């Protein structure tokens, strides 16, 4: 049985908190129907609501993150006043629900490293709405950056052995943690049970993780590869064939429509990068203008400034298209 949650509008939240709970520890992928309007890019698991869960026993915030397919950085941002290492029984935890799709082709895999998030567009099934599946993942550290650009999966390996590059072996030796020339398959293999090679010089991979580094998912922690939860990499490995396109982008600010409402989603800087508030604002204006047909609408500037200040990754509405009846539209056209 999936974890039991209740999804509600903010105005009704307090009245129903006693109903919130989860029942087990199974992780479940975030699967969304793509918007019916192909020009829209805001996806929602549960319409017009946000989601909460109540801890059934003492655990860590990161245990909840894994169960609901969130990374560490994301769930900490959503619960800034919560002790990530100790959640008390019955404590209420905020979860992610709505997202804006990255500005990439809706084909294959997109990795938006700015949000530690993957978007996989499976082939459409006859008679079913097109979907996108989203996974949390880890990315390269400040000194081992994950490269950007379009690539593809060129090889898949189950139960891989790890041959640490000499540069990584030197780093570990300098830290008093020498590595062997080969790490065999098993629970302590940093590649996990599945890996997929990308067509990028230097040996970049999408792979799983060892049992000691589960909590690093959703953080800037790898040597440049993309690291996923064990259950997620297994599902992805079984779903995508060799040759699948992969788009690696860095989009800390995203803008998109849902029906007639324009949303903005903003994420904080990666380690080693600094964007001023003025730079964020200028970047946001450019994206808003692009989303609105190269015209800047009369958007809610206070809502925009709040989103660019919070940087919590939650899409915020900033503009709603006015309703135009046929008479009004014809008057605008004539004038």
Active site residues: 207, 225
- What gap in Å lies between CA 335 and CA 329, rounded to an integer? 10
**What string of DSSP letters covers 224-269?**
SSEE--HHHHHHHHHHPPTT-EEEEE--SEEEEEETTEEEEEE-PP
User: Residues with Cβ < 8 Å from 328, sequence gap 6 or more?
Assistant: none
How many Å apart are CA 33 and CA 107, to the nearest integer?
14
**DSSP label at 89?**
T
Q: Is 139 left (phi over 0), alpha (psi -120 to 50) or beta?
A: beta
Rounded Cα–Cα distance for residues 88 and 57 (Å)? 7
Six token digits for residue 198: 């990308």
Task: State whether the Cα torsion 79-82-84-89 is positive or negative.
Answer: negative
DSSP-based three-state secondary structure for 179 = coil
CB 105 within 8 A of CB 77: no
Structure tokens at 3: 């974890």
Is the separation of the CB atoms in 46 and 96 below 8 Å? Answer: no
């Amino acid at each position: 049985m999936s974890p039991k949650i209740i999804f509600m509008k903010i105005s009704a939240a307090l009245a129903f908190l006693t109903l919130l709970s989860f029942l087990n520890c199974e992780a479940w992928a975030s699967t969304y129907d793509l918007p019916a309007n192909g020009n829209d890019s805001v996806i929602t698991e549960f319409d017009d609501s946000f989601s909460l869960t109540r801890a059934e026993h003492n655990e860590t915030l990161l245990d909840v993150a894994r169960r609901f397919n969130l990374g560490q950085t994301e769930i900490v941002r959503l619960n800034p006043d919560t002790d990530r290492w100790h959640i008390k029984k019955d404590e209420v935890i905020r979860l992610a629900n709505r997202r804006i799709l990255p500005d990439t082709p809706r084909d294959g895999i997109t990795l938006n490293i700015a949000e530690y998030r993957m978007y996989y567009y499976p082939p459409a099934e006859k008679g079913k709405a097109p979907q996108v599946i989203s996974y949390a993942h880890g990315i390269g550290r400040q000194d081992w950056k994950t490269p950007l650009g379009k690539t593809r999966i060129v090889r898949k390996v189950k139960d891989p052995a790890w041959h640490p590059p000499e540069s990584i072996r030197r780093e570990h030796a300098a830290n008093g943690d020498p590595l062997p020339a080969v790490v065999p398959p098993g629970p302590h293999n940093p590649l996990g049970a599945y890996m997929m090679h990308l067509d990028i010089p230097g040996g970049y991979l999408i792979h799983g993780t060892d049992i000691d580094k589960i909590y690093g998912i959703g953080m800037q922690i790898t040597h440049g590869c993309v690291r996923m939860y064990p259950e997620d990499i297994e599902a992805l490995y079984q779903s995508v064939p060799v040759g699948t396109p992969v788009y690696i982008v860095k989009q800390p600010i995203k803008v998109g429509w849902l029906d007639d409402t324009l949303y903005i989603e903003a994420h904080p800087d990666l380690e080693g990068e600094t964007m001023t508030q003025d730079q964020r604002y200028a970047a946001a204006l450019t994206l808003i203008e692009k989303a609105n047909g190269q015209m800047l609408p009369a958007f809610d500037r206070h809502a925009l400034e709040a989103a660019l200040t919070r940087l919590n990754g939650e899409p915020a509405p900033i503009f709603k298209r006015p309703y135009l009846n046929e008479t009004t539209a014809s008057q605008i056209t004539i004038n």
